[in-house]
Amino acid sequence: MQVIIHAGAHETEGDRLLKTLLLNKEAAAKRGTVVPGPGKYRYLLGDCVDAVLEGRSPGQGRDVLWDAILEEEQADRVVLSNPHFFGPPRHAIDGHGFYPEAEMRMGALRQLFEKDDLQVQIGLRDPASFLPSLLRGLQPQRATQILDDCDPLSLRWSNMVLRLRTALPDVPITVWSYEEMPLIWADILRSLLGLDAGERLTGGMDLLSAIMSSEGMKRLRAYLHEHKDMTESQKRRVIAAFLDKYAIDDAIEEEVDLPGWTEALIEELSLRYDADLDEIAGIPGVKVLSA
């Protein structure tokens, strides 16, 4: 069975993505893909992973786990989504980089589902906005500790991806950038659900509707309806043009207010992030979804 692990990252629209996946639950089930509700597995798998990492028996065999997660459903593919799969927000960054527990926690999942075809899919985000967004949700003491311990210019998502590939070379990885999600939202959903390019979805514009004015959405839907023969790449260019004109400023602009962070630092972080994404695209076993 294919087991698709959507592991966040935090602050990359994970909740909205899961809600849209659940909107497609019934249609996906007809194709053998099950999208369980998060209440069926998040705490269960969290406890099992912690047990494995602590050297204890997880108390649940593979078959028992799947019975609890799937109940009576039959599946060829299961999509499990949890931004905490690689660790909680307070452990998302340390002096060594992003998600220092990622490969250990994925190794524990690999052990729990050793007979299954495990795959990882994850959204990445520019450190210039990821850090401020992440730190806002942490206790002030922990946020200060992270700022003191890490050099933001040294943060590389590629390091985390390489650690995962080294520790689990049989687990393919799919990544995308948070910044491109409005343009490739439907592609991400299809990737998680195992659908072919262009297949119909429910909620394929959910993210766009949150960041574009109602007038813009109305005009965009009308335009797409009138040009049904467009390719996916053409649709993305059209969406980008409508976003440029109708985006809600407050929904896409973020204020960065961290001590010592200058405009020059923010620009440098973004430049390095772009280069990092190019490096990730060259890692064997990694697929990058992009516009």
**Structural domains of the chain ordered from first start:** 2-200+254-289 (3.40.50)
What pLDDT digit, counting tens, does each position of 267-291 carry? 999 999 999 999 999 999 999 999 9
Are 9 and 125 in contact by the 8 Å Cβ rule? The answer is: yes
- For position 251, what pLDDT does the model report? 73
The average confidence (pLDDT) of the chain is: 94
What pLDDT digit, counting tens, does each position of 200-257 carry? 899 999 999 999 999 999 999 999 999 988 888 899 999 999 999 999 988 777 778 8
Band of the pLDDT at 95, cuts 50, 70, 90? Answer: confident
Q: How many CB atoms lie within 10 A of CB 255?
A: 6
Q: For residues 86 and 90, what is the distance between their CA atoms, to the nearest angstrom?
A: 11
Q: For residues 252 and 180, what is the distance between their CA atoms, to the nearest angstrom?
A: 12
pTM, rounded to two decimals: 0.94
Tokens of 268: 């440098």
Are 26 and 193 in contact by the 8 Å Cβ rule? The answer is: no
Q: Please, what is the end-to-end C-alpha distance for the chain in angstroms? A: 30
